[in-house]
């Protein structure tokens, strides 16, 4: 692993889940542990980059020489990323909630006998952080993740195009031995020419170092 691959570069990484409040005591979130994003931040710092890590609520120690910014919601994450711009390279590993409750109730919601056994919660779309940053005039070299349970490569290639990315990292979250909350991962990276490069099952630390070397190489060629 080369220590100087990203010297002098600013790398922005998003990681973990976002948490979308319903009322003062309840929220909606997902199973992301943040492990992959934190491993990428550690590997990018080892490769010499100045690293900003914007993360949702996770239980992980901050890697050495990484500037960490903690956020809660998707909108907070976007604001923190915009404040951290410009960057040379963006790696969006966060599992951002696609929707949030339209209103956050000011007081704890009570069981309402008038509404029977149901509760309707109106949701609205969250901003797409990666697509927003990859769409800016000062866009960084942009890398996304596609966590899917089916049609992995098709969906990943579509996301690469729709979000205007340089690379997308596809992982199969239907496989319980890799992906969300597990210690290991196995991924495929797809580029704009639909060329696929595979990284076989290994620890998230090992996959992260391989991914950072691959991404840095492509970035340096671009
Ligand atoms: O569309 P989908 O959520 O599957 O796309 C996944 C990729 O987009 C990931 O890289 C994720 O971090 C990023 N993303 C984002 N903001 C969102 C949704 C996804 O940055 N609101």
Domains and CATH numbers, the chain: 10-102+123-221 (3.40.50.10300)
130 lines ligand 1 (CB under 6 A): yes
ipTM: 0.98
Determine the pLDDT at residue 115: 78
Tell me what percent of the residues of the chain surpass a pLDDT of 70: 99
Ligand 1 site-directed mutation target among 58, 129, 164, 211, most atoms within 8 Å of CB: 129
> Of the listed 21, 30, 175, 185, which one is catalytic?
30
Determine the pLDDT at residue 172: 80
Residue 180: pLDDT band with limits 50, 70, 90: low
Give mean pLDDT, residues 69-76.
Answer: 98
Determine the pLDDT at residue 147: 86
Give mean pLDDT, residues 102-130.
Answer: 92
Are residues 170 and 198 in contact, defined by beta-carbon separation less than 8 angstroms?
A: no
**Residue ranges at the known binding site for CTP:** 98, 108, 127-130, 145, 159, 163
Backbone φ, ψ for residue 107 (5° rounding): -125, 160
Q: How far apart (Å, rounded) are the C-alpha atoms in residues 203 and 172? A: 15
Q: Does position 25 have pLDDT exceeding 90, yes or no?
A: yes
Contacts of 128 (CB under 8 A, 6+ apart): 96, 163
Q: Angle CA(9)–CA(10)–CA(15) in degrees, nearest 5?
A: 135
């Amino acid at each position: 692993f080369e220590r100087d691959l990203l010297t002098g570069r600013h790398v922005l990484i998003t990681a973990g889940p976002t948490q979308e409040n319903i009322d003062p005591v309840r929220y909606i979130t997902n199973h992301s542990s943040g492990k992959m994003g934190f491993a990428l931040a550690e590997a990018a710092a080892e490769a010499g980059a100045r690293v900003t890590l914007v993360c949702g609520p996770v239980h992980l120690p901050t890697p050495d020489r990484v500037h960490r910014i903690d956020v809660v919601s998707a909108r907070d994450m976007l604001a923190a990323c915009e404040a951290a711009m410009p960057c040379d390279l963006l790696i969006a590993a966060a599992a951002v909630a696609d929707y949030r409750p339209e209103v956050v109730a000011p007081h704890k919601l009570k069981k309402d006998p008038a509404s029977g056994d149901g509760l309707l919660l109106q949701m609205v779309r969250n901003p797409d952080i990666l697509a927003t940053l990859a769409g800016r005039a000062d866009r960084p070299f942009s890398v996304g993740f596609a966590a899917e349970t089916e049609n992995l490569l098709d969906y990943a290639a579509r996301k690469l195009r729709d979000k205007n990315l340089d690379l997308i990292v596809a992982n199969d979250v239907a496989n319980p031995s890799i992906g969300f909350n597990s210690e290991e991962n196995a991924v495929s990276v797809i580029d704009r020419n639909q060329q696929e490069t595979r990284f076989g099952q290994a620890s998230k630390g090992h996959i992260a170092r391989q991914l950072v070397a691959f991404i840095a190489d492509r970035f340096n060629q671009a």
